[in-house]
Each structure stands twice: as C-alpha cells, then as structure tokens.
C-alpha cells in the first residue's frame, strides 16, 4: 500500500507544481490577485468545482464518465432555493431532496450502463437533458431564496478560506482513505483496469458500478448545495459548465479517462488550476469567451500528454 501511495503522490506532483507556478506568476503580474477578497473568491469557486471533480473521478476510475453532473448541480440549487425555508426542518428537507435526486439520477445511470449496456456517455447525457428540462420547468430563470442560516454557515470565513472549501478538503481526505484503504476502493481501481479480470477475481462488477454512479450523483448534489449557498438562489443553467470542467480537472490532475489510473488528490489541484485560469483571465481583462478556448486547450493538451506518457511506458 505504501508503494501505491508513493505512486499516487508522484502523479499529483506535476499538477501541484503548476499550481504553485501559476499562483506566483499571478501574484507578480496582477496586484489585484493578491487582494484578500479575490483570494476568498478563488477558494469559494474551487470548493464547488473540487467537489464536482470528486463525483467525476469516481466514475472515471471505473472507466466511465458522468455528464449528468451539470444538471444534478443545477437542480440541487433549485431545490434548495425553493424548499429551504427559514425553518431548520425546511432546510434539511431541501438538502435531503437534493441528495435524493442526485442518488436517483446516479442509480438510473448505473442501471443503464450495467443492465441495458448503454454507453456511459449516452446514458448520462440523456439524464442530463431530462434533468435540465425539469430545471427549466421548475425555475425558468434564476430565483428563489436559499436558507440564510445555510448561506451564513457555508460562507463563514476562516482567514482566506471558508467552510465550503474546508468541507471540500474533508471530502478529499475521505475519498483518499476510501480509495486506498478499503476493499471498495481497491475494487474500483480493479474494475477500471479491466472488468473481465475484476469479475474473475470475485468482484461483483455490476453492483459496484451502480454504487459508483449513485455516489457520483450524491456528491454532485452536494456540489450543487455548496453552489446554492454561494449564489444564494436557484438557477437552471448554473451547473452547465461543471460536467466538462470536472472532467478537465480530473484529467489535468493525472486521472486516466480509460480507468484505473490516477489519484483523487490530483483532481483537487486540477480544480485549482482551472479556477486560477478563469480568475487570472478575468483580472487581466480577457473576455470570458476566451476562457472556454483556454479550458478546451488545457483538456486536449492534458489528454495528449497522458497518451504520450502511456506509450512511453509500454
């Protein structure tokens, strides 16, 4: 296990180095980057994307993908904004409902993959579209009001950090422990390295795949809850970018889209890199449209580099 952890750390180092270089360069180039308000804003943005990246990582590790993450995030903000009244009961109901929707979406995705042999990309895009339609019916435009106590709690400051980013870090610690110190975590990597061989070794592949998709849906819902507290309202389109951004964060962090390779810690640094790219471009006055181009290039280059390294090891 120690050797395995050393290998995971080695995979994370490049992304961590890039983060340090970007922070140093941004601090030198743009004085506004060092502003405490800007740093707190970066931390809040990283929190949502980092949690969404955990959801994506869970399915990437088994060789799948989950594009429904974006709509799960959006509908979670809507549910929380619509039903989280000022009472504690209303708030907890909205949180449980959001998580329940995420779990059900993940279950449908998992059953579609293992029972009906639908490619993960197709089934998750389908549930993404279905949920997006529900989002627009429930709330055609931004609206509603998120419980003020929930907003206050998740925005509570601890230096430049807040409770949201601390929760995200806690989720990463839990994910790391589960992946590296439990049988379930080892099963996930085994499935990603080959379902046939995993089945032969006694792993219940189909059951584990469904569980992973359910976990992905639940974590995506949690990301939506964190986002709802940040924007204080519900929004049917606010999650749209998180499907591809979560994939990009994972790949930049060294996680293979073929499954079985990478560390969840890498996705955290990948999320920081993407957030820094957006923030730096905003600070120097570059149009938001170019941010899509930048993120697309980052994903393509990361995939190319990963494939080159993979061929060199053969």
Tokens encoding 58? 């869970």
Q: Is residue 190 part of a domain?
A: yes
- Evaluate if residue 281 carries a pLDDT over 90: no
With a CB cutoff of 8 Å and minimum separation 6, the contacts of 27 are: 33, 34
With cut-offs at 50, 70 and 90, classify the pLDDT of residue 228. Answer: very high
pLDDT in tens, 255-265: 888 888 888 98
User: Which residues are CB-contacts of 122 (< 8 A; sequence separation ≥ 6)?
Assistant: none
Q: pLDDT tier at 2 (50, 70, 90 boundaries)?
A: very low
Would you say residue 73 has pLDDT above 90?
yes
- CA angle 6-172-38, nearest 5°? 110
Q: Is the separation of the CB atoms in 148 and 86 below 8 Å?
A: yes
Average pLDDT over the chain reads 90
3-state SS record for 127-175 = HHHHHHHHHHHHCCCCECCCCHHHHHHHCCEECCEEHHHHHHHHHHHHH
Q: In degrees, to the nearest 5, what angle opens at C-alpha 99 toward C-alphas 250 and 129?
A: 65
| Structure tokens, 145 | 């009001």
Question: If you average pLDDT over residues 3-21, what whole number do you get?
Answer: 76
> Count of domains in the chain?
1
Over its C-alpha atoms, the chain yields an Rg (Å, rounded) of 19
Please state whether 153 falls in left (phi above 0), alpha (psi between -120 and 50) or beta: alpha
Residue 268 belongs to a domain: yes
Question: Residue 158: helix, strand or coil by DSSP?
Answer: strand
Q: What is the pLDDT of residue 83?
A: 92
Provide the token pair at 207.
């059951």
Query: Given this model, what pLDDT does residue 1 score?
Result: 46
Over range 47-73, report the average pLDDT.
96
d(CA 73, CA 166): 19
Per mean pLDDT, which of 22-31, 153-162, 205-214, 304-313 is the most reliable? 205-214
Contact 99, 221 (CB under 8 A): yes
Supply the range of the domain harboring residue 37: 2-18+32-307
pLDDT band at 288 (very low <50, low <70, confident <90, very high): confident
- Asked if the model's pLDDT at residue 192 lies above 50, the reply is yes
- For residue 313, pLDDT beyond 80: no
The answer to whether the CB of 62 falls within 8 A of the CB of 209 is yes
168 within domain boundaries: yes
3-class DSSP state of 277: helix
Structural domain contains residue 52: yes
Which pLDDT score is estimated for 32? 84
Residue 159 within any structural domain of the chain: yes
Q: Give the model's pLDDT for residue 49.
A: 97
**Of 25-39, 176-190, 201-215, highest mean pLDDT:** 201-215
Of residues 180 and 228, more confidently modeled:
228
pTM of the predicted structure, to 2 decimals: 0.92
Asked if residue 312 is part of any domain, the answer here is no
CATH number at residue 271: 1.10.3470
In a domain, 23, yes or no: no
Q: Which residues of 12-23 are buried (b: 16+ CB within 10 A; e: fewer)?
A: beebbebbeebb
Of 68, 85, 29, 87, which is closest to residue 220 (Cα–Cα)?
Answer: 68
Confirm whether 313 is domain-assigned.
no
């Amino acid at each position: 296990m120690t050797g395995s952890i050393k290998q995971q750390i080695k995979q994370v180092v490049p992304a961590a180095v890039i983060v340090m270089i970007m922070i140093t360069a941004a601090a030198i180039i743009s004085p506004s980057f060092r502003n405490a308000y800007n740093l707190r804003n970066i931390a809040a943005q990283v929190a949502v994307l980092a949690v969404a990246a955990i959801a994506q990582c869970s399915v990437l590790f088994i060789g799948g993908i989950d594009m429904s993450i974006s709509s799960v995030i959006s509908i979670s903000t809507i549910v929380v904004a619509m039903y989280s009244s000022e009472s504690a009961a209303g708030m907890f109901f909205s949180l449980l409902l959001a998580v329940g929707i995420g779990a059900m979406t993940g279950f449908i995705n998992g059953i579609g993959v293992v029972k009906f042999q639908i490619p993960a990309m197709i089934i998750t895009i389908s549930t993404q579209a279905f949920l997006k339609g529900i989002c627009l019916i429930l709330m055609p435009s931004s609206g509603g009001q998120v419980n003020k106590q929930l907003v206050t709690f998740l925005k509570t400051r601890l230096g430049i950090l807040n409770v949201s980013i601390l929760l995200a870090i806690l989720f990463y610690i839990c994910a790391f422990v589960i992946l590296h110190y439990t049988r379930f975590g080892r099963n996930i990597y085994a499935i990603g390295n080959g379902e046939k061989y995993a089945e032969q070794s006694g792993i219940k592949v189909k059951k584990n795949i469904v569980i992973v998709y359910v976990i992905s849906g639940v974590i995506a819902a949690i990301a939506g809850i964190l986002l709802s507290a940040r924007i204080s309202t519900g929004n049917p389109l606010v999650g749209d970018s998180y499907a591809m951004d979560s994939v990009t964060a994972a790949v930049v962090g060294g996680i293979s889209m073929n499954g079985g390779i990478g560390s969840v810690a890498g996705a955290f640094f990948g999320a920081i890199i993407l957030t820094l790219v957006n923030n730096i471009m905003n600070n120097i006055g570059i149009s938001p449209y170019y941010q899509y181009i930048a993120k697309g290039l980052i994903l393509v280059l990361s995939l190319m580099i990963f494939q080159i390294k993979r061929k060199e090891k053969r």
